[in-house]
Amino acid sequence: MAAADRPSRERLAQATRLMAEFARSTGLDPAGERPRRYLWTDAFAVCTFFGLAESTGNADWQDLAIRLIGQVHETLGRHRGDDRRTGWISGLPAAEGRQHPTAGGLRIGKILPERGPADPIRVNEEWDRDGQYFHYLTRWMHALGIAAKFTGDVRYRTWAVNLARIAFARFAIPPTGSAPGRMYWKMSIDLTRPLVASMGQHDPLDGLVTCVELQAAGTRSGGEQTVLADEIAGFTEIGRGLPLATGDPLGIGGLLCDAWRIARLADTRGPLPPDLSGRVLDAALAGLLSGQIARMTTLPAGHRLAFRECGLAIGLAAADLLPAGIRSNPALTGEARDLLSRVEAIGRYHPLKEKIENFWLDEKNQASATWQEHRDINTVMLATSLAPDGYLSI
């Protein structure tokens, strides 16, 4: 990010305090015997640790990012302690599994064990049960890509590519006859059966953008240019024509982050549908205009979810970077004016970013049940919003 886009000294200090608290409380630093790992939270944490290392010049933050990656793989790449199965969820022998930690995907890290094959579906309970989420896997792919960029270690990108391949193979359902391709939302830990058969609204988009991002990074470093060609083609086909608009703040934030990533992928825009930038921005703007976000900000802390709101704030940080990204992308020259008009409309919501951050920095609001119940994810998402450099670096 350009210097003008970097967080203020105060925001940076607040982010470092939050991330240090997260490292202590989850058994990362100091290392605990049973660290508390959760894939979504840890993906954002890895990116934010790398960003803090660059912003502060303190290499200890990068060390924490690397240690966190190791903990995630050793914890979520293996079966649970209360599972009759042991070892790597990929089924690989111990030494080989450690060399290829993402070969079988990664567990979510939920409190309860996954639902058994013969167990009835209880919708409310399923939220607390383990398994694998596709949209968590894409966040981890992105985090590993960030790790490769900051460290220069190509192993991280290799692990991300391996994860992309197994995720596509097990979550995506190819078209059959007149039935279009689709995806499962949640799979079992061993990726052999769906736990929730419906499709996440933005899963094909997340898969597409993340795979193009990984392929672009490999191409820039002299790697194979078509390493994820099948996955990119598959996600493109599944996502064709799917509605993207949502009133969910986390979903809107994700769309804005994807718009920023698309704008940055200038030299590899070929695999992306030509209308994708406009579709993503239109969907994000529709969500902001829906009224749901305005109503959200009038509620007390006990009726709000910090991590979802901070997801929107991160997206608004990405939107601030979009004008420069669009103007610097030769592939977007022909549609730049239309895209910039959309970005200008989205930019009117920029004050909401600071409003969300200040609300959740307030100790009274952090005392609410909704903050305390989701403390780890709230802490990291707020820190990422305050210091988004690492997460938005591709």
pLDDT class for 3, splitting at 50, 70, 90?
A: very low
Residue ranges of alpha helices (H) inside the chain are: 9-25, 39-56, 59-76, 94-99, 123-126, 134-151, 154-171, 203-220, 229-239, 249-264, 276-289, 292-296, 306-327, 336-347, 351-361, 363-366, 369-373, 375-386
- Token pair 């399923």: residue: 126
| Beta carbons within 10 angstroms of residue 91's beta carbon | 12
Question: What residues contact 183, with CB distance under 8 A and at least 6 apart?
Answer: 134, 171, 172, 173, 199, 200, 203, 204, 207, 238
Mean pLDDT of 320-332: 88
Q: Which two tokens stand for residue 222?
A: 């002299």
Mean pLDDT (whole number) for 237-254: 96
Residues whose CB falls within 8 Å of the CB of residue 197, separated by 6 or more in sequence, listed in order: 184, 185
**For residue range 111-155, what is the model confidence (pLDDT) as tens digits?**
999 999 999 989 889 999 999 999 999 999 999 999 999 999 999
Distance between CA 25 and CA 235 in Å, rounded? Answer: 37
268 pLDDT band (50/70/90 cuts)?
Answer: low
Average pLDDT (217-227) is: 72
Task: Tokens for 205, please give them.
Answer: 């988009």
Of 203, 207, 195, 199, which is closest to residue 164 (Cα–Cα)?
A: 207
* Residues 141, 322: Cα–Cα separation, whole Å: 22
pTM of the model: 0.96
pLDDT of residue 270: 63
SS3 183: strand
Look at residue 224 in the predicted model and tell me its pLDDT: 66
pLDDT in tens, 65-104: 999 999 999 999 999 999 999 999 999 999 999 999 999 9
3-state secondary structure of 182: strand
Confidence of residue 222 (pLDDT cuts 50, 70, 90): low
Position 223 scores a pLDDT of: 63
Which stretch of 63-77, 323-337, 363-377 has the lowest confidence by average pLDDT?
Answer: 323-337
How much is the pLDDT for 2?
44
How sure is the predictor about 377, in pLDDT bands with cuts at 50, 70 and 90? very high
177-216: string of b/e by CB count within 10 Å (b at 16+)? eeeebbbbbbbbbbbeebbbeebbbbbbbbbbbbbbbbbb
Q: In 3D, which of 382, 380, 328, 331 has the Cα closest to residue 358?
A: 382
**C-alpha to C-alpha distance for 220 and 222, rounded to whole angstroms:** 6
H or E element that contains 196: strand 194-196
Average pLDDT of the chain, as a whole number:
94
pLDDT tens readout for residues 6-50: 678 999 999 999 999 999 999 999 999 999 999 999 999 999 999
What's the whole-number mean pLDDT along residues 161-180? 93
CB contact set of 16 (below 8 Å; sequence gap of 6+)? 52, 56, 61, 387
CA distance 198 to 168: 15
Q: What average pLDDT does range 325-349 have in this prediction?
A: 89
Amino acid 221: pLDDT: 64
